[in-house]
Every structure is written in structure tokens, then in C-alpha cells.
Amino acid sequence: MFQGKKVVVVMPAYNAAKTLVRTHHDVIEQEIVDLVLIVDDASHDRTAEIARTLDRARVHVHERNRGYGANQRTCYRLALEAGADIVIMVHPDYQYTPRLIPAMAGLVATGIYPCVLGSRILGGGARRGGMPLWRYVANRVLTLYSNLAFGAKLSEYHTGYRAFSRALLERLPLEENSDDFVFDNEILAEILWMGERIGEVSCPTSYFEEASSINFGRSVRYGLGCLATGIAFRLARLGLLRSRRFARSPRGGAGNP
């Protein structure tokens, strides 16, 4: 328990056999973590087999590949069912260091932010960590677009390192979101729509051969999905689109982080 709150780390996994043990080791080294939930999205390697040997880990396996967004949805559902007060998503490919878990959990536990992102852009470490130039440029362009569309000032929207309060996850219309990678962008748009604040911490990143990365074609599809999310957000704000994802909240629409 951390400040009287149960901390659950979730890992949406797919073909992560080469990096899962290392990531899990660093996760459970953070003494505040009560439970690790690993959801394997029908991997073709030994991800599920290895996951079942890990301490303090609970494993769920999709019978068929359902996509990254659907995997996250399962992660959050299982975490809430397990009684989590704070849910932290860490990708099992060791691209993000788990050593920031206490800092991110602390910002959520104290009520300062209901959502905290581990940003690869803050501190200027993305390129030093090996992020390809084309991916870095795409990140910056899409982040600028999203900030303009959502009226926010985040350093990036595309990190896979995120912490959430239970109360926030319970309010989000996750079932309305994509099963694909654009889920990441949609969930942040919904948080901002509800007027909630999003915090960020600087996170070193590491790109290496075993680290997972979507190919160029899927990256293009993700980028188009981000553009569509921004357009839908603006149209909903103007009253020109009715959307379950952007329904009016008691706090009255979107706000700046």
C-alpha cells in the first residue's frame, strides 16, 4: 500500500518474452507495488509462459489478438476488479524505466493529478535514448496538433507510461475507444474533455532491438486516428457532433491541464 492506497501495475503485453523479466524485476523493486497484472494479447512467443513464473504477477491471456487498445481496456478492468486505487501502465518492453513508479503514484495519491504521464520529451532525452528522427518529428507535430485541438499544453500524447486514479478510470468511456493504438490519444482527449488535470514527469527512454515499436504503416494509421480524434473533439465543443466519448460532464467540458 502507498499512502493507504493499493497500487497495481498493468502491462499490456504482446511478444514481450525477451524483455518481460527485466521489466517485471524493476517493477517489483518499487516497494509500493501491490500487484502486477500482465495481459497477453495472444502472443506468438513465450510471453504468457514466462509471465506465469513471475512473483506478484497475475496473468490474463486473450484467446485471440484483439489489439493494443483492447488490451489496455482489459488491463484497466482487471485492475479495478482487483481493488486498485492507483493504476500504472508500464509497457513490458523496457522502453520506459519502472523506477519512476513511486513518483507517478505520489502525484496521483496526493490528489494533485488524477492522471500522470511519463514524458519522453521533457528533459530532451528522446533522441538521446535512440528515438528515430522520423518518429520524433511525428511526435512533435502530432503533439502540437493535439494541444491546439484540445486546448492543452502537454509535452507529448504518445507515451505508453501512464498513471491513473481509480476514480478517473471509472468515469472514462473506455468501451467507446478504439481497439488499436489510437486508444492512447482518445483516452487523453476524454480526460481533458472532462476538465481533469494531467501531470507529466520526465522519463528517460531506451530504443533497442528488443523494444517493441509499430511499423511505419501502422504509425501512419495512428497519426490519422489522432487527427480524427482532434476533429471530433472540436466539433463536439462546437455542438456539431454528438459523441458518447465527449458527452457533457458535471464539471462542464474540457479544461487545460
Residue 23 amino acid letter: T
Quick one: pLDDT at residue 130? 86
Q: Is residue 225 part of a domain?
A: yes
Q: Tell me whether residue 180 is in a domain.
A: yes
pLDDT at 206: 84
Q: Judge whether 166 lies within some domain.
A: yes
- Does 251 fall in a domain? no
Which one-letter amino acid corresponds to residue 257? P
Q: From CA 220, how far away is CA 218, in angstroms rounded?
A: 5
47 in any annotated domain: yes
- Strands 162-165 and 86-89, by their bridges, are antiparallel
- Predicted confidence pLDDT, tens digits, the chain (257 residues): 799 999 999 999 999 999 999 999 999 999 999 999 999 999 999 999 999 999 999 999 999 999 999 999 999 999 999 999 999 999 999 999 999 999 999 999 999 999 999 999 998 878 888 888 998 999 999 999 999 999 999 999 999 999 999 999 999 999 999 999 999 999 999 999 999 999 999 999 888 766 656 778 889 999 999 999 999 999 999 999 999 899 855 454 443 33
Q: What pLDDT is attached to residue 213?
A: 61
Q: What is the pLDDT of residue 209?
A: 65
Q: What secondary structure does DSSP assign to 175-186, as a single string? A: GGS-SSTTHHHH
Secondary structure in 3-state letters for the chain: CECCECEEEEEEECCCCCCHHHHHHHHHCCCCCCEEEEEECCCCCCHHHHHCCCCCEEEEECCCCCCHHHHHHHHHHHHHHCCCCEEEECCCCCCECHHHHHHHHHHHHCCCCCEEEEECCHHHCCCCCCCCHHHHHHHHHHHHHHHHHHCCCCCCCCCCCEEEEHHHHHHCCHHHCCCCCCHHHHHHHHHHHCCCCEEEEECCECCCCCCCCCCHHHHHHHHHHHHHHHHHHHHHHCCCCCCCCCCCCCCCCCCCC
Q: Quick check: is 2 in a domain?
A: no
**Domain count across the chain:** 1
End-to-end CA distance of the chain: 27
Environment class of residue 66 by beta-carbon count within 10 Å: exposed (0-12), middle (13-18) or buried (19+)?
middle
Q: Does any domain span residue 244?
A: no
CATH for 122:
3.90.550.10
Q: State the residue range of the domain holding 69.
A: 7-237
- In a domain, residue 253? The reply is no
Tell me what pLDDT residue 149 has.
97
- pLDDT, residue 146, reads 98
The pTM (predicted TM-score) of the whole model is: 0.93
Distance CA(112)–CA(12), nearest Å, equals 26
Q: In sequence order, what E strands does 53-181 have?
A: 57-61, 86-89, 115-119, 162-165
pLDDT of 28: 97
The closest alpha carbon to 200, from 126, 115, 140, 134, belongs to: 115
pLDDT score of 217 = 86
Any idea which residue has 466519448 for its cell?
A: 245
Q: Residue 70 and residue 94: Cα distance in Å, rounded?
A: 21
**pLDDT score of 256:** 37
